Chain A
Amino acid sequence: MSSPELFRFLHTGDLHLDSPVEGLSAEAPPEVLAVLRAATTNAWNNVVGAAIGHQIDFVVIAGDVFEVASPTLLGQTRFRDGLARLADAGIASFVVHGNHDPLDGRTWAPSLDFPATVHRFGTDAGESVPVMRDGREIARIHGRSYPQSVVRDNYAAGMRAQPGSPFAIGLLHTNVGDRPGHHNYAPCSVEDLRASGMDYWALGHIHQPGQVLADPPAFYSGIPQGRDPGELGARGCYVVEVDAARRVTSSFVPTDVVRWHPLEVSIDALADDEAVRRACREAIGSALDASDGRSLVVRLRLTGRGPLHATLARPGYLDDLRQLLNEERNLALPFAWVESARDLTRPEADLDARREAPDFVGDFLRTVGAARRGGRSTDPEEHERWEKTLRSSVAPLFDESLRGRRHLAKSRPSDDQLAGELLDEAEALGIDLLLAVEEDR
């Protein structure tokens, strides 16, 4: 087995091209929407640019190139164009399919002319291809694609480095260690990775970039562009350098063009709504300064406790605030567009004291407390009663309405939400209304 020469490759995956921008709770202005819509494509272009800029030898793509199994031709064309740019720069590409773009889907339209330097792995467990440079093999890539969207088999366990490989790379779309919040597709354990004999595992599926294992080095490249409020912060790919002693140095290269940014502003020390605006404005300015030139989609959360709580609770106030903040900043690039503003503030009143009071407000707080306890209760009867109460309150929209059932399935409140954040907000709303009445008296 000869030592490989120094070479570099780029590890990416989960491009999710053609993804719509999800989770926008307000209608985005056209200039913002244009940036958001083009974000995944432009991030892919940035990946290609990074590959060419870093003079890498080849690119590995760890599945989920497309968001859907029937991507748009435009998306496929742009992906093909990126591969063609790589091919023009003498860079070969190696791709596996993931659960979003399985082989039984309509991705990679046969009529699109993909470059010959692109290798797509099939479903064969033992498939591997050499990477050649100047007529010599510098690395060997082992990969396996998803035949369909749901794969419950442990693919990693069946992948073994070919003896004598100068440098073996495993390329796989998988959930290592059954990470919660992700489909447990092609599940495997770190032990499986260790046992494979690979020199590097180029993984896809988890959108948060990061290292899974030190030896052998195993990385999730993450998604090159965060697409919804759950995919916060910088996103990109890894440029991996392999030296003559097979030592691996990987460096993260951000490729995103716009970032989701949660922003919390506390009203604790704020005196009036002008101060709220100022605090928000400053927070947005700081966030933008730290965004590395990227545009931001800001989710504003107003928190804390104080007299301004009542102001914020006024109908339409938050919408107005959001609109004002957006109007103040023109949307030239890089922009900071406030996508939503939520009021998580609490009234100044001492609710603990009110909870003890023998009046209607006290009754209300005690009712909420009972609901909260019931929602978490281990007593099945108690739990069921409250779950039923809360669930039935939201059922007309989420369960009983046909369209609600069809189109709000994703946002149907979970039991935890019902007895958790939604209950908290309902409590705040009820208290606001009751205390406002008290103040009126």
Chain B
Amino acid sequence: MRIERIEIDGFGRFHDVQWALDGGLTIFVGANEAGKTTLLNAVRGLLFGFDATRDGRTWYPAMAGGRRGGRLTLRTSSDDRWTVERHGERGGGGALAVRAPNGNQGGQETLDRLLHGADRDLFNNIFAFGLGELQTFASLSADGVRGRIYGAGAGLGGTSAVDIERRLRQQQEAVFLPRGRERPLNALLARTEALRVQIADLAQQPEEYEAAHLERGDLRAHAIELRGEARGWRERAIRLGHLRTAAPLAADLSRVEEELAVGDATLDALPADVVAILDRRQGELAEAGAVLASIDEQIDASTAGGAGLEIDDGLLSAADEIIGLRDERVARRAAAERRRDLEAAEARHGSAVDEQRARVGGWPEERLVGLEDSIASVEATREHEATLSEARAARQAADQRRRAAEDELSARERESSVAADDAGLDERADELREVEALGMRQASAEARAARGPGPGSRILAVAIAAAIAMAGLTLGVAASQPLIGVALGLLVGGVAISILIRPTAGDDEIAALRAERVQLLGRVGLAAEAEDAAVRELRDQIAARRARRDIDRERAAVLEARRAEIARLEREGEQVDALLVSSDEAWRDWLRGRGIPTDLSPEAARQLLGAAGAARRAAAERDQQRAMIAAARAEDDAYAARIDALLARLNHVPATDDVHRDAMLARLVDDLERSRDARRRAQELDATLARLAERRVPAAEVTAGRQEAVAAHIRAFGCDDPDQLRRRDAEAASRRTRHARARELRAGLAGIGGSIEAVAALVEEARTGGSAAVEATHVEAQAELERVEAAERDANNRIGALDARIRQLEAAEELGMRRQELAALEGQAAAIGREWAVRAIALRLLEETRSRYERERQPDVVRAATAHFERITGGRYSRIVAPPGDASVRVETEGGEGRVTDELSRGTAEQLYLALRFGLIEEFARHAEPLPVVMDDILVNFDAERAARAASAVRDLATRHQVIYFTCHAWTAELLDPDGTRTVALA
């Protein structure tokens, strides 16, 4: 591969420049700062990206302008042309575009393949180097450099073995670092360690458990002891407490017992209720006395009440009559109301009768109400009315029909005209028809005479006749009537024959026809020479006259029929009149028979009959009401008479009128009620006095008995009066209170002591023991009790805590969980460790393989390098020794003297490294596309002779590789290119 063109858009001092390069050797000559190193770095940068400077400044910024970067056109050994274009302002890859010969564009991977895995290090150290790189061996022996040089022949694309190793190593380190902490496996192992410590702690739990059991056992025993001790102290404290409580009770008891001893013991026998009984009996006595006094008071009151009562016996004897009259007065008032209603009705009905009489024209009442107005009479008026109505209607209808017939007759008579003379019209019409027929026959004969008939027409006639006959047969067959078909055919055929084969007219015939016509024309009144048009006109006139004649005839017939009809109608009208007269007569007879004026129509008669009925009914009502009114007035009068008689009997003034009478009666009623009340009250008082007299006797007895009972009760307890008894009872009550107190105190002591004996002992002890001593001992016992109880509580609390801890330990899952966690961690660590081990072994095997590969390949490189070194040194050194895997290199002189690189002069060392580079370049090219070689003034430290030999070696190398050489020395350019044909001046 060679660089065909270098184009720089901007890089350091270069801007928009380009150089076309041939294969083989190109020498750029320029003074210092002409840009040789800049151009070397431009080539490096375009191929492998731009360096990043440590101070952050841009590496070769485009100082002269343009975008930093440019492009290289590369030509491969297979003559393909690639371009590599790269731009970028900062360090790194920048924007790379690799364009393939087919126009496809790629990136870094494409470039890597194009360069056969050569990377920046390899290129910078082996293929594009300056004096700086040349002066160190390290740049040659770097692992990557070797790996890639040899890898080029490893069938893996040069870079792969190293890349794989690096990848594996990275994977290894991502999992575990020998001194790491964060890597997954390191972290897992650290967690494992921590967990083991935790588990060791947790494993102590059984010991703690046993210790807890032991402690709990001890504590339980101690708690039992404490409980016993507490019980003793508690009993003692209680006993002392009892004593302390019992002492005042015992003192009280003694005092009460002494008080009882000095009193009257007989009072203890006095019942507690003695005064209560006394009180009750005295109460009962008071009650009985009160009852007796009350009775006496009632007797006095009743006697006084009876004295002022007034009773009217006369009035009382007439009581029933008075009450009867009072009750009847109500009935009388109602009767008066009814009477007034009757009087109004009577007046109303009287008016109604008068009204009916007025309607019929002032007939007397007797005549009007005497008319018979039965339903039969009314129906009879209706029958007569119907008969009369029918007769009149028939009469009217007959008149109408007759008048209609007469009107029609006169109308028709006006329409009919006098008939014209139409005689001979029919004959003339016939004659005219014949004239026309003769004219046609004449014309036909004349035409035939002019033409003459041929045999063809005869044959045609027969043929047509036959055809038509056949057609008729066919049609007849089709219509299932063959005979009809045949007959029809024969008939039509015959006619056709007769027409077609008629004989031709002669002149005679024509003359005869013409004469006959003239004759006829004369008969109808036309001239002999009259044309057909005149004949037709005459024929039309005759036809019109004949039509008019027929119409007149029809009208005459109708008039005759109408006259006959009128005659019949007149006869009918006479019959109807007779019927009407007889009906009217019958009606008048009927009226006469009932005494009703005969000029009344049936309708008027019916109204009269209706008025008669209404008058009769009203008169009847009126008469009835008059009778009832009279009866009522009689009753009122009788009632008044009865009241007046009563008043006279009771010596009252007579009543002046009905109103006064009513008032008098009311007064009588009031007086009667008062007399009755007085009498009832007197009767009640008598009864009360009788009852009181009866009750007074036992009440007096009870009072006496109770007085005795009170006296007996007082005497029974040896007292003379109630007050004495009450005083004794008060004393007895006081003794009872002391007895109760004594009992209460004894019960209290029994409650403290527990039994009667204990009470006695307690009383004795309380009496004898000093209260201060008891109190002190009690306080001391209480304090002891509290102390022991607190200790017991503490022990029990601790036992409870131990119980909980024991239960907790029994159920503790943590140890199991931690052990499980540990197992899981170990499992994971083992799995990861195993993967790590596989990678470690694979890495070691790859390293072994590559090392072996390099060892096997290295002799070729060293052999080639030796040849170059020997040539450059003019045979001074004959051998290079580079043991595989050893980072050092030795040389041997022609005489077999070995020297390490440190022992070589600077120039000789550079010549050795140059020779080794040449060997490596050739080794790389053995398996991959040869890369261009760029050198930057590397001959400056060589002496003239060795420089010339080295230049020769460079020229030799340039026959197989493209070599670009930068120098600022004209002599170097001359050494390399004596003809000056390959030298480019760099301005």
- The chain B residue with its CB closest to the CB of A393 is B844
Return the CB mask of B153-182 against A: 1 if under 8 Å, else 0.
Answer: 011110011011001100000001010000
Residue from A68, A76, A367, A400 within 8 A of B845 (CB atoms): A367
Q: If A24-B824, A24-B828 touch, does A422 touch B841 (CB 8 Å cutoff)?
A: yes
Give A358 Cβ to nearest chain B Cβ, in Å: 9
* Bound: A60/B805 CA distance, A: 33
Residue from A393, A401, A413 within 8 A of B178 (CB atoms): A401
Q: Which of B801-832 contact A (CB under 8 A)?
A: 806, 809-813, 815-817, 819-824, 826-831
**Is B127 in the interface zone, CB < 8 Å from A?**
no
Give A378 Cβ to nearest chain B Cβ, in Å: 22
Q: State whether A394 touches B830 (Cβ < 8 A).
A: no
- The chain B residue with its CB closest to the CB of A437 is B160
Number of interface residues of B (CB under 8 A): 68
Residue from A26, A397, A427, A429 within 8 A of B828 (CB atoms): A26
* Bound: A379/B464 CA distance, A: 145
List B contacts of A361 (CB < 8 A).
155-156
List A contacts of B844 (CB < 8 A).
389-390, 392-393
Q: Which of B755-785 contact A (CB under 8 A)?
A: none
Closest 7 CB pairs of A and B: A25-B831, A411-B830, A20-B823, A359-B155, A426-B841, A360-B154, A111-B213
Q: State whether B849 touches A363 (Cβ < 8 A).
A: yes
Return the CB mask of A105-138 against B: 1 if under 8 Å, else 0.
Answer: 0100111100000000000000000000000000
**Is A441 in the interface zone, CB < 8 Å from B?**
yes
**Is A75 in the interface zone, CB < 8 Å from B?**
yes
- Stretch with Cβ within 8 A of B (4 or more), from A46-54, A146-154, A184-192, A402-410: A402-410
* Bound: A73/B203 CA distance, A: 10
**Is A348 in the interface zone, CB < 8 Å from B?**
no
**Is A70 in the interface zone, CB < 8 Å from B?**
yes
Give B923 Cβ to nearest chain A Cβ, in Å: 15
Residue from A33, A72, A422 within 8 A of B838 (CB atoms): A422
**Is A37 in the interface zone, CB < 8 Å from B?**
yes
* Bound: A217/B812 CA distance, A: 41
**Is B834 in the interface zone, CB < 8 Å from A?**
yes
List A contacts of B843 (CB < 8 A).
393
**Is A23 in the interface zone, CB < 8 Å from B?**
yes
Q: State whether B828 touches A407 (Cβ < 8 A).
A: no
- The chain B residue with its CB closest to the CB of A430 is B842
Q: If A20-B820, A360-B155 touch, does A394 touch B852 (CB 8 Å cutoff)?
A: no
**Is A327 in the interface zone, CB < 8 Å from B?**
no
**Is A285 in the interface zone, CB < 8 Å from B?**
no
- Stretch with Cβ within 8 A of A (4 or more), from B185-193, B285-293, B329-337: B185-193
Q: If A37-B817, A418-B841 touch, does A364 touch B849 (CB 8 Å cutoff)?
A: yes
Q: State whether B852 touches A367 (Cβ < 8 A).
A: yes
**Is B241 in the interface zone, CB < 8 Å from A?**
no
List B contacts of A112 (CB < 8 A).
810
List A contacts of B841 (CB < 8 A).
390, 393-394, 418, 422-423, 426
Q: State whether B826 touches A22 (Cβ < 8 A).
A: yes
Number of interface residues of A (CB under 8 A): 68
List B contacts of A74 (CB < 8 A).
810-813, 815-816
Give B544 Cβ to nearest chain A Cβ, in Å: 120
Q: State whether B830 touches A25 (Cβ < 8 A).
A: yes
**Is A425 in the interface zone, CB < 8 Å from B?**
yes
List A contacts of B205 (CB < 8 A).
72-73
Residue from B160, B210, B830 within 8 A of A434 (CB atoms): B160
Interface centre among A23, A72, A422, A437 (most CB of B within 10 A): A72
- The chain B residue with its CB closest to the CB of A17 is B816
Q: State whether A406 touches B193 (Cβ < 8 A).
A: yes
Q: Which of B931-973 contact A (CB under 8 A)?
A: none
Chain B residues in the interface with A (C-beta under 8 A): 113, 151, 154-157, 160-161, 163-164, 167-168, 176, 178, 185-186, 189-190, 192-193, 196, 203, 205-207, 209-210, 212-213, 806, 809-813, 815-817, 819-824, 826-831, 833-834, 836-846, 848-850, 852-853
Q: If A73-B205, A77-B811, A429-B839 touch, does A408 touch B820 (CB 8 Å cutoff)?
A: no
Q: State whether A397 touches B176 (Cβ < 8 A).
A: yes
**Is A368 in the interface zone, CB < 8 Å from B?**
yes
Q: State whether A360 touches B833 (Cβ < 8 A).
A: no
Residue from A37, A430, A434 within 8 A of B820 (CB atoms): A37
Residues of A contacting B: mostly: helix
Q: If A390-B844, A426-B842, A429-B839 touch, does A403 touch B156 (CB 8 Å cutoff)?
A: no
* Bound: A389/B196 CA distance, A: 33
List A contacts of B113 (CB < 8 A).
441
- The chain A residue with its CB closest to the CB of B163 is A437
List B contacts of A21 (CB < 8 A).
820, 823-824
* Bound: A77/B826 CA distance, A: 27
Interface centre among A26, A37, A111, A423 (most CB of B within 10 A): A111
Q: List 9 A-B contacts (CB under 8 A).
A: A72-B816, A111-B213, A360-B154, A360-B155, A363-B849, A396-B176, A401-B176, A434-B156, A437-B160
Q: If A24-B823, A433-B168 touch, does A396 touch B178 (CB 8 Å cutoff)?
A: yes
Q: Which of A355-392 contact B (CB under 8 A)?
A: 359-361, 363-364, 367-368, 371, 389-390, 392
List B contacts of A25 (CB < 8 A).
827-828, 830-831
| Interchain pairs with CB closer than 8 A, number | 205
* Bound: A359/B154 CA distance, A: 6
* Bound: A411/B837 CA distance, A: 11
Q: State whether A340 touches B820 (Cβ < 8 A).
A: no
* Bound: A380/B417 CA distance, A: 178
Give A21 Cβ to nearest chain B Cβ, in Å: 6
Q: If A23-B827, A25-B830, A367-B852 touch, does A397 touch B836 (CB 8 Å cutoff)?
A: yes
Q: State whether B812 touches A73 (Cβ < 8 A).
A: yes
Give B296 Cβ to nearest chain A Cβ, in Å: 103
- The chain A residue with its CB closest to the CB of B828 is A25
* Bound: A427/B164 CA distance, A: 13
* Bound: A90/B464 CA distance, A: 143
Return the CB mask of A430-441 against B: 1 if under 8 Å, else 0.
Answer: 100110011011
List A contacts of B815 (CB < 8 A).
72, 74
**Is A274 in the interface zone, CB < 8 Å from B?**
no
List A contacts of B207 (CB < 8 A).
106
Q: If A109-B210, A406-B193 touch, does A27 touch B824 (CB 8 Å cutoff)?
A: yes
Q: State whether A73 touches B209 (Cβ < 8 A).
A: yes
Interface centre among B193, B212, B838 (most CB of A within 10 A): B838
Q: Which of A4-46 contact B (CB under 8 A)?
A: 18, 20-28, 33, 36-37
* Bound: A68/B163 CA distance, A: 49
* Bound: A408/B848 CA distance, A: 27
Residue from B156, B817, B845 within 8 A of A438 (CB atoms): B156
Interface centre among B160, B212, B816, B846 (most CB of A within 10 A): B816
**Is A238 in the interface zone, CB < 8 Å from B?**
no
* Bound: A19/B370 CA distance, A: 147
Give A387 Cβ to nearest chain B Cβ, in Å: 12
**Is A220 in the interface zone, CB < 8 Å from B?**
no
Give A63 Cβ to nearest chain B Cβ, in Å: 19
Q: State whether A111 touches B806 (Cβ < 8 A).
A: yes
Q: State whether A430 touches B845 (Cβ < 8 A).
A: yes
- The chain B residue with its CB closest to the CB of A431 is B842
* Bound: A236/B486 CA distance, A: 126
Q: State whether A33 touches B820 (Cβ < 8 A).
A: yes
* Bound: A367/B806 CA distance, A: 63
Give B764 Cβ to nearest chain A Cβ, in Å: 56
Residue from A24, A106, A109, A390 within 8 A of B827 (CB atoms): A24
Give B498 Cβ to nearest chain A Cβ, in Å: 113
**Is A398 in the interface zone, CB < 8 Å from B?**
yes
Q: State whether B164 touches A411 (Cβ < 8 A).
A: no
List B contacts of A363 (CB < 8 A).
154, 849, 852-853
Give B352 Cβ to nearest chain A Cβ, in Å: 116
Q: State whether A430 touches B833 (Cβ < 8 A).
A: no
Give A31 Cβ to nearest chain B Cβ, in Å: 14
Interface centre among B155, B196, B836 (most CB of A within 10 A): B155
Q: If A26-B831, A389-B848 touch, does A110 touch B154 (CB 8 Å cutoff)?
A: no
